[in-house]
Amino acid sequence: MPFLQDPPRLTNAYLADPLLRELVARALPGALGEVEPELEHLGELAAGRLFAQQAVERLLEPRIEHWDAWGRRVDHIELTPLWREAATLAARHGLVATAYERRHGPASRVHQLALVHVLEPSLDVYACPLAMTDGAARALLDAGNAALVERALPRLTSREPARMWTSGQWMTERIGGSDVSLTETVARRDGDDWRLFGTKWFSSATTAEMALALARPEGAPAGSRGLALFYLETRNEDGTTNGVLVNRLKDKLGTRKLPTAELTLDGARAVPVAGLSGGVRAIAPMLTVTRTWNAVAAVAGMQRALALARDYARRRAAFGAPLAEKPLHADTLAGLEAEREGAFLLAFRAAALLGASEAGVASDAEQLALRAVTPLAKLTTGKQAVAIASEALECFGGAGYVEDTGLPRLLRDAQVLPIWEGTTNVLALDVLRALAGEGVGEALAAEVNAHLAAARDPALRPAIEAARAALARAEAWLAAAAGPAREAGARRLALTLGRTLELALLAAHAQWCLDHGRGPRALAAARRLARHGIDLVAEEPGAEELELLTGPSADGGAR
Ligand code: MFK
């Protein structure tokens, strides 16, 4: 007997996302007539033709040809058709350019990333090369290297598909991973040029025309201070490779359309971006941008997963009624939506702060808060993205575990978000470092308090109280914790701060919705998020517990 079940369907990815529409209305009130038609157009494309094409291409993957028919090393990577179309769409719709044209001043980052939010879930992680491209543009501008800006920026921010370049971000090495201070790639002088020799172990989107790479100039000291940031183009003018050999493509859990490669740099001609040291400092602006994109990709993925799960709940009947009418299923979906709304507002707050900073209008406190909000947004939303994708798959029962529904991809592609661009723990330590900076903790607290102060409706009181209590506990912990306990608690602290800011943003947004006739949905989400719990600092274990759970006793004394 055939099993006939209506598959989940999508409707316009912009129009069917009230939270995104509210954000756009708040951030770009004077420009709605200009930005909304494009968002609606892309929303239609994302939910319609591109969504269908994703299903058709489900099994396609990029392929690498190392040699041409006549024995020349070419390392040609053939992308999937949807990725080729994504490159065209990205240029035409200014998915990078919008941030640099800055037609809407400080709100240009929100505008740009709203476009990304609508399209990315239908572009099979094409956000990866775009994030790095955007980050490279930012790093070159911040380094103030006029020659490189003049050469690369018009390409990186082009709206012409044939002219637009993408950039790689080459940091990770076999020995290094998160700890880039161990970088082995060396830069040797060759007349007026520099040449890079070494191996890059994870290079995402290897079809890029250029890359920013960390390398150690010959004779420079060990450690990260001895690293410099280099600019290189991957091909020579005649199309031959610039000393960049693609050894193989990675066989990854997800992001399967994204060609991630292991590279050998064998004399790649390169140019220092900002002198011959301080490479980590020089690449930090790129990380700020890519981590913001990561947070936006996380919330975009959550929205896609929940849109599918909600639609399916109306089509799928079990135990005598559509799932949407089953109290437990509806309660599950409501909890996921509340998490998504907090995460969404945090990701876009990071974007708004970045936009204000780039436009030169951020207050001193906003500038300081940005340093902490970026890693907080990246690490908090990355974890939520995996949890929500996992729950969303479960909403489909067995179908969520079956490949040709297209659903498992949602979980696989979410799982990269807490890993690349700094794992949760690496970013939690980054938050600790950021909070050690003068005024950063105060600026972050002021940020939380300002949003809470905007929330006046009495129904928001439990959410406000939960956020105030969590912030106070985090501040007390930070003032008291020292030594290994401080490091051990870094993740709990960071997730508490991330979730607290989410709740504060959601409370303020709920108030805006009430004030502007947008209804009580966000208020319900704020109340629900507060009940989920936002304070992980409270869960701090003792040192003895840590030893019992990770020491020899955890392996039955096997060590
Ligand atoms: C959908 C979106 C897709 C996104 C694209 C995906 C592409 C995927 C490609 C990758 O995964 S690339 C690899 C990603 N790898 C990482 O993100 C590295 C993770 N490790 C870290 O982030 C470490 O924290 C770090 C390497 C930065 C630590 O290095 P150090 O040298 O031990 O750091 P240190 O000494 O704290 O900082 C050196 C300088 O940089 C300092 O400035 P000063 O020299 O002026 O003192 C720091 O203040 C500055 N800095 C470090 N992190 C910063 C920063 N500045 C601003 N923001 C930061 N986050």
d(CA 47, CA 432): 40
pTM for the model: 0.97
Strand partners, 189: 194
Segment 417-444 shows an average pLDDT of 98
Closest Cα to atom 5, ligand 1: which residue?
Answer: 128
387 lines ligand 1 (CB under 6 A): no
d(CA 342, CA 462): 16
- The Cβ of residue 67 has, within 10 Å, a number of other Cβ atoms equal to 11
From ligand 1's centre to the CA of 284, what distance in Å?
5
131 lines ligand 1 (CB under 6 A): yes
Q: Give residue 350's Cα distance to chain centre.
A: 11
Closest Cα to atom 14, ligand 1: which residue?
Answer: 421
172 lines ligand 1 (CB under 6 A): yes
pLDDT in tens, 324-361: 999 999 999 999 999 999 999 999 999 999 999 999 99
The residues near 482 (Cβ < 8 Å, ≥ 6 apart) are: none
Closest Cα to atom 52, ligand 1: which residue?
Answer: 284
pLDDT in tens, 24-56: 999 999 999 999 999 999 999 999 999 999 999
Q: What is the signed CA dihedral for 15, 18, 22, 28, rounded to 10 degrees? A: -20
For residue 25, the one-letter residue type is A
Q: Given a cut of 80, is residue 61 above it in pLDDT?
A: yes
From ligand 1's centre to the CA of 291, what distance in Å?
10
Which numbered atom of ligand 1 lies nearest the CA of 127? Answer: 1
Give me the pLDDT at residue 527, please: 98
Question: Where is average pLDDT lowest: 107-116, 269-278, 480-489?
Answer: 480-489
Give me the pLDDT at residue 558, please: 61
What is the DSSP track for 300-318? Answer: HHHHHHHHHHHHHHHH-EE
284 lines ligand 1 (CB under 6 A): yes
Mutate to test the pocket of ligand 1, among 133, 288, 421 (most ligand atoms within 8 A of CB): 421
- 529: phi then psi, degrees, rounded to nearest 5: -60, -40
Distance separating the N- and C-terminal Cα atoms of the chain: 55
pLDDT in tens, 366-408: 999 999 999 999 999 999 999 999 999 999 999 999 999 999 9
pLDDT in tens, 216-238: 999 999 999 999 999 999 999 99
Segment 278-306 shows an average pLDDT of 98
Q: Given a cut of 60, is residue 135 above it in pLDDT?
A: yes
User: pLDDT averaged over the chain?
Assistant: 96
Give me the pLDDT at residue 1, please: 62
Give me the pLDDT at residue 546, please: 78
From ligand 1's centre to the CA of 459, what distance in Å?
41
Question: Where is average pLDDT lowest: 75-84, 214-223, 538-547?
Answer: 538-547
Give me the pLDDT at residue 553, please: 78
> Is the Cβ–Cβ distance between 391 and 308 less than 8 Å?
no
Which numbered atom of ligand 1 lies nearest the CA of 129? Answer: 5
95 lines ligand 1 (CB under 6 A): no
Among candidates 76, 112, 73, which has minimal Cα distance to 93?
112
State both tokens at 551.
């020491």
Percent of the chain with pLDDT over 70: 99
pLDDT in tens, 7-23: 999 999 999 999 999 99
224 lines ligand 1 (CB under 6 A): yes
Which numbered atom of ligand 1 lies nearest the CA of 437? Answer: 48
139 lines ligand 1 (CB under 6 A): no
423 lines ligand 1 (CB under 6 A): no
Closest Cα to atom 43, ligand 1: which residue?
Answer: 281
pLDDT in tens, 432-463: 999 999 999 999 999 999 999 999 999 999 99
From ligand 1's centre to the CA of 19, what distance in Å?
31
From ligand 1's centre to the CA of 282, what distance in Å?
9
Closest Cα to atom 15, ligand 1: which residue?
Answer: 421
Closest Cα to atom 49, ligand 1: which residue?
Answer: 281
> Is the Cβ–Cβ distance between 196 and 265 less than 8 Å?
yes
Segment 110-137 shows an average pLDDT of 98
CA pseudo-torsion sign 490, 492, 496, 498: positive
> Is the Cβ–Cβ distance between 173 and 199 less than 8 Å?
yes
Give me the pLDDT at residue 559, please: 57
Question: Where is average pLDDT lowest: 3-7, 207-211, 253-257, 340-344?
Answer: 3-7
pLDDT in tens, 508-529: 999 999 999 999 999 999 999 9
d(CA 334, CA 340): 10
Which numbered atom of ligand 1 lies nearest the CA of 294? Answer: 2
